[in-house]
Amino acid sequence: MSAQLEVIVEDAERQLSAFVVVDSLRDGRALGGTRMTGTVTLGEIAGLAHRMTQKLTLVGIPMGGAKAGIVCALPPGPERDERLAAFGKAVAPLLHGGIYLGSDQGVSHRDRDVFFASAGYDVCTEPALAGIDSPWPELWRRCRYVTGFGICEGIAAAVDAGLLAGDGTVGIQGFGAVGRGVARGLDRRGLRVVAVADRYGTISAPGGLPVDELAARTDDHGTVDRTALPPGVQVDDTPEAWLDVEADLLVLAAGGDAVHAGNVDRVRSALVVEGGNYSCTAEAHRVLAARGVPVLPDFVVNVGGAAVTGLMLTGAAPTSAPLDDIVDWLHEQVAARIRANVVRLLESDPDRSRPLIELAEELADQLVAQR
């Protein structure tokens, strides 16, 4: 599927290299996140933009899919902010023209606000948000774990379908905002989180980790402070040690291709959930399906943030209500839509004869064609 628009930004003076891909439009509008890594490519962004089209279509949001990428591996600081500001100036016509670019891997809500300000873009001037009584950053402060919440709802649907015991054990690869949201949500629902992995290794405890304590010792980039870990916690800095921890459920909430042909045979969980984009390769999906291990695809369960943005920007949300009511309504919508899609996906192939991702892609593309 060819994209509607590809924009390449090169600014040698500010050392900025960036891409924006608009995969599809609905009523002239599209939305997607902005990814900031040292290796992001135009091809990667194009694939993610198409995923956004599928994701938004499945949850009934009438906006097209888009994605942006900034090639940058700088640590937080003035130089990194200069890149974000330069990106904002470059994409200002898109932001003002109906292409909403939010947060994604490497770009926090605070970073998003930096490039919004540079672009002179205030999302609250959007017609659909005219009645809202709270600033956009405050809404997102209250919804910062909504993506993890939505993934938990997808897992709850899998539990209801008998794919996982309600008191099972969980391993989580990645402990950023999504991973922490999943860990907290599952811990509160009675599942036992026995392992979490960040960039420096895997932290585990067979009897269950103190999730709230670990989250309190984690920075904005998902790195756990090793200097004050609770007693009884084991640390293993071996690459991919998270694959060696016994867990009924494996949640992949970090970079893409985490499970691939070279390590898929080490997956021992009964259920795998893609909490990040393209967490499993196509080969890994096929191998796991052949073994009878279902994988809930990213664009079916990792939808919370996109759904909240889309519901707000399309005027579906009750923006004139008090903020507490808006936030509750948004979470209810995320829960209902993700659960319904997981149920529909599981019921479409009760024998589990095909990878769930293939069925989800077919369903999404059928719905896109019907628009």
DSSP H helices in the chain? 42-58, 78-96, 109-119, 136-142, 146-160, 177-188, 211-216, 282-290, 298-301, 304-313, 323-347, 356-370
- The half-sphere exposure of 128 on its side-chain side, counting CA atoms within 13 A, is 14
CB-based contact 150:332 (threshold 8 Å): no
State yes or no: pLDDT of 1 exceeds 80. no
Alpha carbon distances (Å) from 76 to 50, 73, 110, 116, 132: 29, 9, 11, 17, 31
Distance from C-alpha of 79 to C-alpha of 350, rounded to nearest angstrom:
53
Predicted confidence (pLDDT) at residue 281 exceeds the cutoff of 90: yes
How high is the mean pLDDT of the chain? 94
C-alpha span between 98 and 70 (Å, rounded): 20
pLDDT at 2: 60
From CA 206, how far away is CA 226, in angstroms rounded?
A: 18
Cβ–Cβ under 8 Å, residues 248 and 238 = no
What totals of helices (H) and strands (E) does the chain contain, helices first?
Answer: 12, 12
Do the Cβ atoms of 65 and 32 come closer than 8 Å?
yes
H/E segment holding residue 109: helix 109-119
Structure tokens at 235: 């640390």
Q: What is the DSSP string of 331-350?
A: HHHHHHHHHHHHHHHHHT-T
Count Cα atoms within 13 angstroms, Cβ side, for 315: 5
User: With 60 as the cut, is the pLDDT of residue 349 above it?
Assistant: yes
Q: Which helix (H) or strand (E) is 141 found in, with range? A: helix 136-142
Domains, in order of start, for the chain: 5-121 (3.40.50.10860), 146-303+337-370 (3.40.50.720)
Q: In Å, how far from its chain's centre is CA 325?
A: 24
Closest CA to 296 of 21, 98, 58: 58
Averaged pLDDT for residues 105-127: 93
What mean pLDDT is predicted for residues 16-38?
Answer: 96
Query: What confidence category does residue 255 fall into, taking pLDDT thresholds of 50, 70 and 90?
Result: confident
Neighbours of 207 (CB within 10 A): 8
C-alpha span between 233 and 203 (Å, rounded): 7
Q: Is the pLDDT of residue 324 over 90?
A: yes
DSSP 255: S
Mean pLDDT calculated for residue range 183-212: 96
Q: Quick check: 87 and 9 in contact, CB under 8 A?
A: yes
Q: What is the pLDDT of residues 81-99, one digit of tens each?
A: 999 999 999 999 999 999 9
